[in-house]
Amino acid sequence: MGLGGTASCYEGMFLERHPVVLKRLDRLDARLELRFSREVAVWKQLKHPRILDLIGLHTHGNTKYMVSPLMMYGSAREYLKPHLDSNCTLKVLLQTAQGLEYLHNHEPNVVVHGDLYSKNILVSDSGDIRIADFGLSMIMEEFFPDQYSLSWHNGGNIKWKAPECLRLIDGQPAPRTTMSDIFSFGRVIVELTTLKEPFPDIPDQYEFWDHIKDGNILPPRPTDEETIARGLNDELWRLVEDCCKDAELRPTAAEVVRRLEAMLVSQA
C-alpha cells in the first residue's frame, strides 16, 4: 500500500490484539484533509469480502493515520511467487474481479478504484484477496499536479493506466472510469502471470510513454513455460486483449468475473 512521497506506513496493534497498518498522511492542508475525510467515509461504507476494511482515521497531534487490517501475505504478486499453479493465479484474478464488480455496481454511487495494480491487491492470512487504496491516487493528482501529472510522465503507476487516462484535459488529469479500471485489470493479468510489471523491457517511464504514444498498447504475449504454468493460456490472453481494447469495447467487471469463473470450472 503506498502513495509514494505522500504517505508512510507502519505496523501496529489495534485494541492490543489485532495487527494493523497505519498509513501516515503527509502534507495535509485543510482542503486535502476534507477530501481525504470524504474518501475515507466512502471507503468505510464498502463492505465486501474482497475489499480491505478501513478501521478508520487516527489522529495523533497534527498527524492523521488511516488504519486498516494488516494483510499477512502482502501483495498479490509476492503471494504468487512460490505458487507455480494456474488455479491459484485464477483464484487471485477472480477474487480481484469480484472486488471490482462490487465497486462498479456500488449504490448509490459507483466507486472507481483508479490505481489498480498488484501492490493495491493484498492477500490475507487465509489466502483471500482484499483490494485497497480507493481513489487516493486521484486525490493526490488533484492536489499535487506538479508531482503526479502526466506532464511529468509519472502519473501514478503509468504502466497500468488506460491510454485515455494518460492525457491532460485543460491541464488536469483525465477522469478515470470503471472501464479504465478494467484496462488496469488486463495489465494485472499480465503482471500476476509473469510476476513482472507490464513491459518489463522498458523500465524508463519517459521511454514507455513514447512507446505507447505509437499505439503499442498491448504488451507482447509471454510464451515462457513458467508464465504458461501460471495460467496464461489462449483463453486468458483473449481476456487480456479484450481488457486492453478501446474503452467502449471492454468487458464489464461482471463479464470478467463470468469468464474467469468459467476458466476455473474448465480446469477443475
Active site residues: 115
Query: Could you give the strand order of the β-sheet that contains 18-25, starting from the edge strand earlier in sequence?
Result: 7-14, 18-25, 63-69, 56-60
Distant-in-sequence, close-in-space partners of 161: CB < 8 Å, separation ≥ 6: 155, 180, 183, 184
For residue 39, give the 3-state DSSP assignment. Answer: helix
* Cα–Cα distances in angstroms (integers) from residue 5 to residues 2, 21, 139, 166, in the given order: 9, 17, 14, 21
For Cα atoms 6, 160, 126, give the angle at the middle one, nearest 5 degrees. Answer: 80
- Taking the C-alpha atoms of residue 233 and residue 200, their distance in angstroms, rounded to an integer, is 20
Task: Provide DSSP, 59-86.
Answer: EETTEEEEEEE--TT-BHHHHHTT---H
- Alpha helix positions (H), the chain: 30-45, 76-80, 86-104, 136-143, 145-148, 178-194, 205-213, 225-229, 234-243, 253-267
